[in-house]
């Protein structure tokens, strides 16, 4: 009797393993692409790695306009004349991946007299409004680095020096406001 139960259990495990391999191969034939897409979107529910929430520690680059750091940074940039009195970091930096990149772009825009909307569109690759249609832009949806963006908008400017200076200022501003 014990041997029969063991054999039944081994058989059940074997059948389930082979069915798993067959389903892992995916569908074939007409509509296979759609079925595969549907299967891949629902399969993440069964992945235990997806169940674990990632560490939600702030990395210092968040754009939460209500945070003390971003309020201090907004005030600091407004005092320097880099940011308009009615603007905030949250409004200006929404499309940037890194806060430091946005602050550097603000500094470059201010020091060279560049349109921040065009500079932002070049660096992020995101067109916000119709105002940026007249801007010189990099090809594709990928953004260019700050130096290339400066050179596209203002070819006669020393883009390398301007980008380095702006990045140093941005780093100092971020360091000052985080303390």
Q: Do 44 and 50 meet the contact criterion of CB atoms below 8 Å apart?
A: yes
Distance, CA of 176 to CA of 147 (rounded, Å): 24
- Joined tokens for residue 90: 């949250």
Give the pLDDT score at 56: 45
* 144: in domain: yes
* 81: in domain: yes
> Residue 163 belongs to what domain range?
68-178
Of the candidates 173, 50, 44, the residue with the CA atom closest to the CA atom of residue 107:
173
Integer CA distances (angstroms), 5 to 8, 13, 19, 116, 143, in order: 5, 12, 21, 74, 63
Whether pTM > 0.75 for this model: the answer is no
Q: Do 122 and 152 meet the contact criterion of CB atoms below 8 Å apart?
A: yes
How many separate domains does the chain show? Answer: 1
Residue 94, classed as helix, strand or coil, is coil
Give the pLDDT score at 60: 45
Q: Do 151 and 157 meet the contact criterion of CB atoms below 8 Å apart?
A: yes
* 13: in domain: no
In a structure prediction context, what are the per-residue pLDDT tens digits for the chain, which is 179 residues long?
A: 778 888 888 888 877 776 655 555 555 555 565 655 555 555 556 666 666 655 444 444 445 555 788 888 989 999 999 988 898 888 888 888 888 999 999 999 999 999 888 888 888 887 766 555 567 665 556 778 889 988 888 889 999 999 999 999 999 999 888 76
Find the angle CA(31)-CA(49)-CA(22) to the nearest 5 degrees: 35
* 28: in domain: no
Distance, CA of 172 to CA of 167 (rounded, Å): 9
Distance, CA of 128 to CA of 120 (rounded, Å): 9
* 22: in domain: no
- Joined tokens for residue 79: 């005092």
């Amino acid at each position: 009797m014990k041997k029969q139960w063991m054999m039944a259990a081994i058989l059940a495990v074997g059948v389930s393993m082979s069915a798993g391999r067959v389903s892992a191969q995916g569908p074939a034939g007409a509509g296979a692409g759609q079925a595969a897409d549907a299967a891949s979107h629902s399969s993440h529910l069964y992945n235990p790695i997806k169940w674990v929430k990632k560490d939600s520690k702030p990395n210092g680059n968040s754009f939460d306009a209500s945070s003390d750091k971003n309020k201090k940074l907004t005030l600091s940039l407004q005092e320097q004349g880099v940011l308009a009195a009615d603007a905030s970091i949250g409004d200006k930096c929404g499309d940037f991946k890194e806060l430091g990149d946005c602050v550097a772009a603000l500094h470059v825009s201010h020091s060279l007299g560049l349109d921040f909307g065009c500079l932002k569109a070049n660096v992020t690759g995101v067109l916000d409004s119709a105002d940026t249609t007249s801007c010189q832009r990099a090809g594709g949806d990928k953004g260019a680095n700050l130096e290339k963006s400066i050179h596209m908008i203002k070819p006669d400017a020393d883009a390398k020096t301007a980008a380095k200076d702006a990045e140093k200022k941005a780093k100092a501003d971020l360091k000052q406001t985080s303390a």
